[in-house]
Amino acid sequence: MLYVIVTKSSKEMSDYKWYLIHQLTWAYLFDVYLGLWKPVPLWPFYVGYSVGVFGGSVGTNFTVILQLSLLVVNAIGMGFSIYISVLHRYMQASPFSTMYKLYSKVDLRIKLYIIVFAFLLFVFLYPVIYIMPNQQILRQNLSARFPVIQRLVNQEPSFFGYDSELNNNQSIIYMLVLTLSLFVVVTTIVILYFNFLRILRKNKPQLSSGTYKMQVMLLRTLFIQIGLAGLLLLLPVTILLFLVFFGVPWVSGVSLVAFTITGTHAIADFFVLSYFIKSYRQYVKELINKVRKRFGAKIEPMPAQLFATSSGVPSSIHLIE
């Protein structure tokens, strides 16, 4: 999909394609990391073990911090990439505004992105490290209170986690803050989406038909991508958190299903982009027709189409697509 975006994006998407690449790269990294890590959570405890690349390593504080830090970095990167993609599309709705002129300064925009991303990493990584209990003490404490944990500690060297009794419920507070942050992000994205539509309709007389249709197409695709992220990533995790809070005993089995669902996000994202963005859809269709032709299928030639230009603003204005 990355190859298709780089080589088959239209000229009008010269800038926006890099946002798509940024977004998909983080999504792939997130899915690959979960696939390599293969965590097995042991709800309702905040503990688990790895049956993946970390399965043979002893759960020391260093290895645990490494595992969780990689998860946080990938999750923040994916969320941040989606958010700035929405912001980018939002700014295109009003190319005559003062904010657009500021946004057009690429160097300033990139510096701001780096600062905000570094700030988010600090905010969400620091608590992970700060409230991390000594893993040896954690094993001893849980084994003394729950005999079943003792067998898991002996069987799984990568056993790791948190204990609310060892950090004064700070781990629970962190999970609640994280859930609230996700809710705030989703809410602001929805607000930006509907405000984008309002501004786009307002500026429609100043835009050509091609520009207007392209803006709607790209935002619709992005909103579907956001919906997929919510359905395949946020929803399974949120359900797990609620089950933990209410002490549902079979939550461990649900967690395995939830992680399996999250692994389908990247391929679902591929199908969305391939279908809803016209240039990608045409390229994929051409590839399918080539394969069919090799097997002897008769391919009807596509009728010639006239495409409206997407340059619908005065020549002094340059849209950042």
The answer on pLDDT for 39 being more than 70 is: yes
pLDDT of residue 311 exceeding 60, the answer is no
pLDDT at 297: 72
Give 119-132 pLDDT, tens digit per residue.
Answer: 999 988 888 887 77
Percent of the chain with pLDDT over 70: 84
- pLDDT for residue 168: 62
Q: Which CATH class is domain 2-294?
A: mainly alpha
Q: Looking at 59-63, 136-140, 212-216, 313-317, which range is the least confident one?
A: 313-317
Q: What is the mean pLDDT of residues 277-293?
A: 82
Q: What is the pLDDT of residue 170?
A: 65
pLDDT band at 308 (very low <50, low <70, confident <90, very high): very low
Q: CA–CA distance from 80 to each of 50, 145, 271, 315 (Å)?
A: 27, 40, 22, 33
- The ranges assigned to domains in the chain are 2-294
* pTM for this predicted structure: 0.74
Mean pLDDT, residues 269-276 taken together: 83
Per-residue pLDDT of 18-27, as tens digits, reads 888 888 888 8
Contacts with 244 (C-beta within 8 Å, 6 or more apart), sequence order: 43, 44, 251
206-240 pLDDT, tens per residue? 767 777 777 778 778 878 887 887 788 778 877 77
Nearest CA-CA partner of 6 in 280, 287, 310, 281:
280
Q: Any idea which of 30-39, 80-89, 97-106, 171-180 has the lowest mean pLDDT?
A: 171-180
Q: What is the mean pLDDT of the chain?
A: 77
150-186 residue pLDDT tens: 888 888 888 887 776 656 666 667 767 777 777 787 7
Output DSSP code: residue 160: E
Extended strands (E) in the chain: 39-41, 47-50, 160-161
* pLDDT at residue 318, rounded to an integer: 40
Is the pLDDT assigned to residue 312 strictly greater than 50?
no
2-6, 10-14, 35-39, 244-248: least confidently modelled range: 244-248
Least confident of 40-49, 54-63, 115-124: 40-49
pLDDT at 37 over 90: no
